[in-house]
Amino acid sequence: MRALLLSFLTVTAAVWANPPSSAMKVVFSDDFNGDTLDETKWTYEGNKEPITLKGGKLVISLKQRPDGWQGSGLSTRDKFSQVQGYFEASVRFNGTKGHHGAFVVKNLDKTPAPAAALYYECFGEDRVSAWAKIADSHGVRELRPPKTGLSLTPGQTTKKFNTYGMLWNERSVVWYFNDRVIHKMDKIEAKEPMVVTLGHWVSDFESKDLVPAKLPDDFEVDWVKVWK
């Protein structure tokens, strides 16, 4: 119902739109062209070993440990955060099941309600999910729309790089895929700065589907930019 401030507005067809960044200024960027990670921009959110830079790309792999497969991640925690704006990354997601890559814009974990986490996740086989986790006056909820305007060809998200963006302003949150609107969400109550997180993980619920013979199946990022 429209009375629910945070209900999802289903986008039944992808809509072409001008890039939301066209009237904004870049305030954060990284193209990963160096030999080592720029730690003035990124904080490790896990083990360093699975994270490398190769050919101008950030690569987050999976590493086998005695207790199973381990991923890792990065965030701009303690380095960069922002209230509202446009957050975008050029990403090639993992192709197989059993693990997932993620591009997330979120309040710091220590932030009390109201808070939000805005997600792009891929669980292999082009299964891309755009959703949000919200903590506000209505409680803590995962808002996962049953349908998006995302139309994919086989291998589109796993064999090539695509741009994934999230526009957060005073009116709404809007998800973009290659500059096309695929989701909208009503205004959120969260007002604290958000950080960018990039990760590649194996969750308990999906580990049974991981096939070691299909690895490596890395999560790769060409660049990240934030506009204000």
Q: Tell me, rounded to whole angstroms, the distance of Cα 58 from its chain centroid.
A: 14
pLDDT tens per residue across all 228 residues of the chain? 333 333 333 343 344 457 898 899 999 999 999 999 999 999 999 999 999 999 999 999 999 988 889 999 999 999 999 999 999 999 999 999 999 999 999 998 888 899 999 999 999 999 999 999 999 998 999 999 877 778 899 999 999 999 999 999 999 999 999 999 999 999 999 999 999 999 999 999 999 999 999 999 999 999 999 999
Which of 6, 2, 1, 29 has its CA nearest to residue 228?
A: 29
Give CATH for domain 8-227. 2.60.120.200
Give the C-alpha separation, 91 to 158, whole Å. 9
pLDDT for res 17: 52
Give the C-alpha separation, 219 to 217, whole Å. 7
Is the Cα torsion angle 123, 80, 53, 222 positive or negative in sign? positive
pLDDT for res 145: 83
Give the C-alpha separation, 4 to 6, whole Å. 6
Is the Cα torsion angle 135, 140, 144, 145 positive or negative in sign? negative
What are the residue ranges spanned by the domains of the chain? 8-227
CA angle in degrees (0–180, nearest 5) for 112-135-29: 75
